[in-house]
Chain A
Amino acid sequence: SSYYTPVMPSSLCKSRRLYISFSDVGWENWIIAPQGYMANYCLGECPFPLTTELNSTNHAILQTMVHSLDPEGTPQPCCVPVRLSPISVLFYDNHDNVVLRHYEDMVVDECGC
C-alpha cells in the first residue's frame, strides 16, 4: 500500500548556493578574474506528488509514484541541474600567455527532478 509522509520545504530539491573563492583553493596567482566561482549544487528530495516548482519531467512524476508504491525497490527521482549559465575566466596559461576562455554550463541556476 502507498504511504505519504509530508516533507519539510527546505529539504525539497533546489539549488544550494556555494561560492568558492579562488584564493581559498590557491589559484589566485594564475586566475586574473573573476575572484571566485558560484559552485552551486542541487540537493533535496523529489517526493510524491511532485509539485510544479520542482521542474520535473514526466518520467520523474511516474517514478515518484512507483517509489511511493515500492519505496525499497525504486528510488526517488534525482535532483539535478536544469538551467545552467556559462562563465568566462581570464587567466595565465602554462606558457604565461593571457587567455580568456568561455566555459559553458558552469553555474547552476535552477534544479529539478
Chain B
Amino acid sequence: LSTRESLLLKSLGLSAKPSPRSPAPVPSVLWRIFQKREIPSPLRPSREDACWVEEFSVPGNIIRVFSDQGHFLHSGGPRTLLCLEKHLFFNLSVLEDGEQLTMAQLQLQFGHNSYRAPSPGQVFELRLYRAPPPSLWELLSPPPSHRLLLVQSFVQLHKSLLFNLTQVGRDWRTQSRNLGLVLEISMSSGAGSSALLGRPPGNFCAGIDSFLDASLLVVSLQLEQCKAARKKR
C-alpha cells in the first residue's frame, strides 16, 4: 500500500505523505476561495478558467501560504526610534520546476483590537530591505540603502498590511538569492520625533509591539495541468 500511496502522492505533487508538526491556522482568504469553488453552479468558470485565480486576477492553479521562518533582530539600542526589526524568510524551494510564480503577496498582521489616537506628529515608517548575507547582519544595520525594496509611512496602524512582492518572489526561485528580507518599523525621524526622543521606545512604539506574524501568499501556475485535455466527444 505504501508504494501505491507514494505514487499517488507523487501524482498529486507531493514528495511524501505530509505530517504537519505545527499546522498554522488556515488563512481566511484560502477558505473563501476553496468554499467558493466547492459550490456547484452553472456559472462555474469553464475548465480553462479553473486555472485562473479570480480573487487576485492572476493565472494559477496552486495557492500556497508560507509561514515566516525568520527571527527578530535587536531593536532599540543606538537607533532609539526603531520599534521593530525582524528578519523575514520564506522557503520557496517547495515550488516545482514546472511552476510559474504569478503572484507573491506579503502580509504583516498585528494583534491590536482598537485604533490608538496618534500623538501629535507621530508617524511610523516601514522599510523592507533585501536581507544581506547573515554574516553581515550585525555589521549592516540598517542594511545599505541599495538594498531598500520599499518604504511606507503611516499614522494609523492597521491590523494587516499587504505588499506585492511578486518580482522578489521570482528572484527567490534561485535558492542562493533567497536571503529573505529585513523588516524595520520605526518612528519617522520627521517633525514630531524630537518631542518623542527621550521617551522609552516602548512608549511611542505602542501598537507596533502587537506585531503577530508575517506570511507570504504565493500563486503559481503549473502549465502541464492547465493544458487543454483530450478533446471531449
The residues of A with any CB-CB pair to B shorter than 8 Å are 25, 27, 29-30, 32-34, 55, 57, 82-84, 86, 88-105, 112
A88 touches B38 (CB 8 A): yes
State how many residues of chain B have any CB contact under 8 Å with chain A: 39
A-B contacts, 25 listed (Cβ < 8 Å): A29-B19, A30-B17, A30-B20, A34-B38, A57-B233, A90-B26, A91-B18, A92-B23, A94-B14, A94-B16, A96-B22, A97-B24, A97-B66, A98-B24, A98-B65, A99-B62, A99-B65, A100-B62, A101-B63, A102-B51, A102-B61, A102-B225, A104-B47, A104-B50, A104-B226
B27 within 8 A of A: yes
Chain A CB within 8 A of B195 CB: no
Smallest distance from the beta carbon of A94 to chain B beta carbons, Å?
Answer: 5
Chain A contacts for B94, CB-based, 8 A: 93-95, 97
Distance, CA A101 to CA B99, complexed state (A): 12
**Closest beta carbon of chain A to B162's beta carbon, Å:** 17
CA of A98 to CA of B90, assembled, Å: 13
Shortest beta-carbon distance from B221 to chain A in Å: 10
Q: Is B13 an interface residue (CB 8 A)?
A: yes
Take A55-B233, A95-B91 as given contacts and tell me if A100 and B30 are in contact as well, using a CB distance cutoff of 8 Å: yes
A82 partner, pick from B13, B24, B233, beta carbons under 8 A: B233
Contact A104 B26 (CB under 8 A): no
Q: Is B199 an interface residue (CB 8 A)?
A: no
| Residues in B neighbouring A88, C-beta threshold 8 A | 33-34, 37-38
B210 in the interface, Cβ–Cβ < 8 Å?
Answer: no
* CA–CA, A99 and B95, complex, Å: 11
Contacts of B22 in A (CB 8 A): 96
Q: Which residue of A lies closest to B233 (CB)?
A: A82
Chain A neighbourhood of B34, CB < 8 A: 33, 88, 90, 100
Q: Does B12 contact A (CB under 8 A)?
A: yes
Residue B146 lies at the interface, judged by CB distance under 8 Å to chain A = no
Given known pairs A92-B23, A94-B15, A97-B94, the reply for A102 and B50 (CB within 8 Å) is yes
Q: Which of A82, A84, A93, A102 has a CB less than 8 Å from the CB of B18?
A: A93
Partner of A86 from the list B15, B24, B47 (CB cut-off 8 Å) is B47
With known contacts A82-B232, A83-B232, A96–B20 Cβ distance under 8 A: yes
Scan residues 64-117 of chain B and give those whose CB is less than 8 A from a CB of chain A: 64-67, 91, 94
Nearest-CB distance from B34 to chain A (Å)? 5
A100 engages B33 (CB within 8 Å): yes
The answer to whether A93 and B229 touch (CB under 8 A), given A86-B50, A88-B38, A98-B27, is no
Residues of B within 8 A of A82 (CB): 232-233
**Max count, chain B CB within 10 A of own CB: residue among A29, A55, A86, A98:** A98
Give the nearest-CB partner of A83 in chain B. Answer: B232
Most buried by B among A29, A97, A103: A97
Q: Is the CB of A94 within 8 A of B18?
A: yes
> Are the CB atoms of B14 and A93 closer together than 8 Å?
yes
Cα-based distance from A89 to B34 in the complex (angstroms): 8
> Closest B-chain residue to A55, C-beta based?
B233
Q: How far is the CB of B39 from chain A (nearest CB, A)?
A: 11
Q: Who on chain A is nearest to B15 by CB? A: A94
Residues from chain A with Cβ under 8 Å of B233 in the complex: 55, 57, 82, 112
